[in-house]
Structure 1
Amino acid sequence: MTVEEDAGDKKDSGGTTAREPAPSSPPRLPGSILFLCSMNSIRSPMAEVIARKLLPPSVYIASAGVRPGARDPFVDAVLDEVGLTLGSHQPHSMDELEDDYFDLIVTLAPEAHHQALELTRSHSVEVEYWPTLDPSVVDGRREQILAAYRDVRESLAERISRRFGTALPPAS
């Protein structure tokens, strides 16, 4: 076996050398990301906080809603369980953003996706739709509602990690 063969070349049945594809490199990180949902009170602020934890500080991350809602105490509770906080975040709309140019807009609700597509008609911005359950529609006991919020938290963390090639912190 030659050094080249040992480094990844393989001989097919006809004796021809074929190069195995190189392992895929991690996805290139955008310089700025906007997480967008309906009211910026549950899904998009959760995604923003999780992304800030998982991505390098060089990536500008923000969140907004199609319209502003009210801060949801269940979000604070489930983020606190994993050592994260919204801090002084108050829900706000896209119109209230400090910066309106993003490399990537991740939409988490159908209404937000339609709004993002309208917004980006005249801009070259990548838009991705990540359908995400609105946990506020779940009825039941407090623990059942919290479980729905935890599911959203975990699915967003997994999706962000997978999309941007970052490792999830170990479960505590």
Structure 2
Amino acid sequence: MSGEGGGPRSVLFACALNAVRSPMAAAILRHLVGDRIRVESAGVRAGITDPYAVAVMDEIGIDISEHEPSTLKEIDDPDFDLIITLSPEAHHHGVEMTRILPANVEYWPTPDATVLLDSASREDLLVAYRDVRDTLFQRIKQRFLPSAGGPIV
């Protein structure tokens, strides 16, 4: 199930709606490791493409504008070595998936910037989305590109 160096060959990022956190995380990991790891994202429920997520990812040169939110039930090939859940609801579903998959599950609690949509200014929203993006970027680098031995792939 693992690639060279013991790292996962396939990773699923899961969150509630597959509109912000999980597509950001999947795009960041793809950006960092290319095609050395199969990377997918899905949500418990399908949301809609989030323009703030697209905007803050574009700021770092990663295009997620073509991302179409999908659900965990819509995954074509559910064979993953690692499921990283980014919300409590997704974590519950990720653990349930391990009843039929020999996958490891890691829970990375990640704030939901969309809770501010009805109350914050555009600039405050962008700051919140950037915080999510930057937190995910750092966590992914730490998890998949440890400084001592290079990428785990």
Give the structure-2-normalised TM-score.
0.88
Q: CA deviation at 1:28?
A: 3.2
Mapped partners of 1:31, 1:103: distance in 2? 6
Residue 121 of structure 1 aligns to a residue whose secondary structure is coil
List runs of 5+ in structure 1 lacking aligned partners.
1-26, 168-172
Give the number of the structure whose residues are more often helix, by fraction: 2
Letter in 2 for 1:32: S
Aligned residue in 1 for 2:123 = 143
2:25 to 47, 50, 60: 47
- Once the two structures are TM-superposed, the CA of residue 56 in structure 1 deviates from its matched residue by 3.8
Structure 2 counterpart of 1:100 = 78
Q: How much has 1:166 moved relative to structure 2?
A: 5.2
Letter in 1 for 2:12: L
Is the partner of 2:12 in helix, strand or coil? Answer: strand
Q: Give the alignment's Cα RMSD to 1 decimal.
A: 1.6
Among candidates 83, 94, 98, match of residue 61 of structure 2: 83
Amino acid at match of 1:108: L
Structure 1 segments of 4+ aligned residues over 4 angstroms from their partners: none
CA contact (8 A) 1:40 1:65 kept: yes
- C-alpha deviations, 1:70-107, integer Å up to 9, x for none? 11000110011111111421100011112111000000
1:71 is paired with a residue whose SS is coil
Question: Residue 54 of structure 1 contacts residue 166 of structure 1 at CA under 8 Å; is this kept in 2?
Answer: no
TM-superposition CA deviations, 1:100-133 (whole Å, max 9, x none) = 1100000000000001111112322100000000
Matched, 1:64 2:42: yes
In 2, Cα distance between equivalents of 1:47 and 1:67: 17
**Identical positions, percent:** 48
Larger radius of gyration: 1
